[in-house]
Amino acid sequence: MGSTDSTDLTARARIRDAAVVCFGEHGFKVTVRTIAEKAGVSPGLVIHHFGSKAGLRKACDDHVFAIIHEAKMESVTSPDPMRSFRHLSHLEEFAPLMAYIIRSLQEGGPLGLALHERMVRDVEEYLAAGEGAGNIRPSRDPRKRARFLANMISGSLLMALAERPGEERVDFSRFLQEWTEEYMLPALELYCEGLFTDRKMLDAYLMYVSDPPEESR
């Protein structure tokens, strides 16, 4: 993918690819006319092939999902650290796809939610395996922990997107690169060394939930 920008693709595919890029760069508010122009066709043809703007987006969802499913993102959450880093450095190829997914997530769209749910499950499996192997600490609620960690990852992507100036076109290659540079060190510090030097806060909370004070209404 990404190798053929020109007209050697069927128009339907060209429109779909242009739509993925436009949706990813500008969000789903982007105009059918803009997408059509990017694909070098008329607005009417877009509707002719996809029925409606919603149909076009559904086609994009399916297309992106198929690619991601095929290329399996599990390597991102791979237990082998070096493999993860190596993979991240080549992630630029997936940038337009990632942009589309993040935008879908930002809006609460079905594709973003589906992929996020899969990530939650992957993280849970990974943690369970690591716990069995003795690399991961046990949790009082492994399912909640998995969702929590996955939400941290997806959420930080949404934040990184929010930090970009509003209407500007977003370069997601650089975006993802900066994201890893920004978050990798503190994340690993936190995962390996924790944050607090004692368990005071945790114990206070455990007491709080097992015996909630009356003052809370």
Q: Enumerate binding residues for DNA (CB under 7 A).
A: 11-12, 31-33, 40-49, 52-54
Query: Residue from 5, 6, 132, 192 that binds a copy of itself (CB under 8 A)?
Result: 192
Is 184 a residue that touches a copy of itself (CB under 8 A)?
Answer: yes
Nearer to a copy of itself, 7 or 195 (CB): 195
Nearer to a copy of itself, 5 or 196 (CB): 196
132 binds, among DNA, a copy of itself, none (CB under 5 to 8 A by kind): none
List all residues 6 or more positions away from 156 whose beta carbon is below 8 Å from its beta carbon. 179, 183
Nearer to DNA, 12 or 145 (CB): 12
42 binds, among DNA, a copy of itself, none (CB under 5 to 8 A by kind): DNA
Is 76 a residue that touches a copy of itself (CB under 8 A)?
Answer: no
31 binds, among DNA, a copy of itself, none (CB under 5 to 8 A by kind): DNA
Is 191 a residue that touches a copy of itself (CB under 8 A)?
Answer: yes
Nearer to a copy of itself, 37 or 131 (CB): 131
Using CA atoms, how far residue 132 sits from 82, 182, 192, in Å, is 21, 31, 17
Smallest distance, a copy of itself to C-beta of residue 45, A: 27
Expressed in angstroms, the distance from the first to the final Cα of the chain is 58
Using CA atoms, how far residue 143 sits from 118, 123, 125, 197, 207, in Å, is 13, 9, 10, 25, 21
In three-state form (DSSP H/G/I as H, E/B as E, the rest C), the secondary structure along 94-135 is: HHHHHHHHHHHHHCCCHHHHHHHHHHHHHHHHHHHHHHHHCC
List all residues 6 or more positions away from 53 whose beta carbon is below 8 Å from its beta carbon. 32, 46, 47
